[in-house]
Amino acid sequence: MDLIWKDQKVESGASNMSLPFEINEYTSRQERVFDKLPDSCVLIIPTNDRKNRSNDVGYPFRANSYMLYLCGWEEDEGVFVAHNITGKWETFLFVPPRDTNKEIWEGIRTGVEGAMDWPVMNSDDLGNVEGKITDFIDKTEHVFTISGVSRTIDGIIANNGNVSDPSEILDLMRRIKSPREIEHMKTAARIGSEAHITAMRNAYPGIGEWEIQSFVEGHFLSEMSQWSFPSIIGGGDNGTILHYKLNKSTVSDGELVLVDAGCEVHGYASDITRTWPVNGRFTMPQKEIYEIVLKAELAGINACRAGSEWTAMHKATSEVIAAGLIDLGIVDCSVEEAIGSDFDGPYRNYFMHGTGHFLGLDVHDVGGGRQGDKNKGPVLEPGMVITVEPGLYFGSWRSDVNIPERYSGIGIRIEDDVLVTEGDPVVLSSTCPKEIDEIERIVGIGE
C-alpha cells in the first residue's frame, strides 16, 4: 500500500523524545493495518477521555493502548486519523495547541508543532478534529473506529451508518510482540520481581496488607514505573478472594499472604503472583497445597510451546491440580472425572479461574484466549507473552462447597510471565523466587 511519508522522518529515525520505539516500528504497524483495510476509508483512533475522581480532581491519565501501539502518543487529548482518499494513505495526529495559561497549571504540552516528531505525516489542532473528520467521512465509503473511548469521536460519527471496528485487525497484530516490545516487557518483569522480593524481605507477623502494598508499589515508583493494575494483597482468607481489593487487613502469624501485582514500562505490563507465609515458615498443610500449585504452574509453563493449542497449558495445570486434590482426599474420583468433560468437574470448586491470559499493553491483553471467550483460543506462536497462574482456594467463609478444616483459610496462586519461543518457553519473571526453600530464606530478613 502506498504511503505519503516524509522522507526525512523515516530516514532520520526521529529524535525519539519520549517514544519507546523507533519511528519505523510504528510506521510498520500502521502499514500492516492499512493493508487490511478497504479502499476509500478513514481510520480514527482516539486516546482515552480523562475521568474525574471527585469534583475537579481527576484520575491519573493513561493513554489508550491502541493509540500507544500505532503512534506512541501518551499525553491526554489526542486523535490519530488515517485515510486513503487519494489512493495513498495519509496520517494525522490531532492534539491540543500550546497554551501558556494552561501550561502554568498543568505542565508544558507537546503541542501541534511538537507532534510532528511523532510517527505521523501531519499534525493539527485538536479544535479542528470535528471538521476534518467530517470532511474525510464525506469523501470516503468506510469508517473504522473504536467506540466508547472518546465521547467527542462517538458524537462525530453518531449518524454515520457505515462504521466498523478495527480492533479485530489490531488485536491479531498485538498478539505477537516485536523484539523491542519484549525488551520492555522483560524490564517490567524485572521491576515486578524486585518489588515482590522487597515485600517478602520486609514482612513480619501482624503487618498490614496496605504496608505490603506500599513496599510493592513504592518499588514501582522508585523505578519510574507504575502499577499495571491495582495490587491484590490478600492475607489469610482474603487470599481466597480472586480479585480482593481492600488491602486493609493485618496478616497474622501463621497466615499466608497472596500478592498479585505488576507494573508498566512504556505501557507494557508485568503480572506476577507469589504466595508466602508472613512469618517465613510454611506449615505442613500450607506446604501440601503450595507444592500442588507449584507443580501445576511448572507443568503449565512447559506447555507454552509454539504450535500448542491455547488450552494445552490449562489442561496441564488442571491435571496436576486434580491429581493433587485426589491425593489429599479432597476430591474422591478419578482425575478424568475431577476435571470433567469441559474443565467443569469438581476440581473447579477449588480452582475456578483460567490458567492464563495474554500480556502486553493491557494486563489482560487483547487477542482472545481467556476463559469464557466465545471463540476457541489461538494456537501459540513465537513472540506471544502469556501468564501462567494456577491456584487453589479454600475460603473458610464458603458454604457452597466442602472446605476441609486442615486447609481452611488457605489461598495460593503462583503466576509468571512467559514468552513463547521457537524452543523452550522463557519465563520473564524468573528472578522472582517461588520455591519453598527460596521463599523461607527471604521472608522477613529486611533490606
- Residues with active-site annotation: 56, 243, 260, 271, 353, 357, 364, 389, 393, 413, 415
Q: Which of 274, 304, 277, 74 is nearest to 189 (CA)?
A: 274
Q: CB–CB of 383/179 below 8 Å? A: no
Pairing of strands 41-46, 142-145: parallel
Instruction: Return d(Cα 30, Cα 7) in angstroms, integer.
Output: 16
Q: Is 155 exposed, middle or buried (0-12, 13-18, 19+ CB in 10 A)?
A: exposed
Instruction: Return d(Cα 254, Cα 414) in angstroms, integer.
Output: 19
Instruction: Return d(Cα 419, Cα 301) in angstroms, integer.
Output: 10
Helices 167-175, 23-36: crossing angle, 10 deg rounding: 130
The H or E element containing residue 351 is none
Handedness of CA 337, 342, 348, 351 (dihedral sign): positive
Q: How far apart are the first and last CA of the chain?
A: 56
Residue 187, all three cell numbers: 524490564
Q: State the greatest distance between any 2 C-alpha atoms of the chain, in Å, as a whole number.
A: 72
Instruction: Return d(Cα 432, Cα 435) in angstroms, integer.
Output: 10
**DSSP letters along 121-154, please?**
SEEEEGGGHHHHHHHHHHT-SEEEE-TTS-HHHH
Tally Cβ neighbours within 10 Å of residue 328: 16
Residue 399 DSSP symbol: -
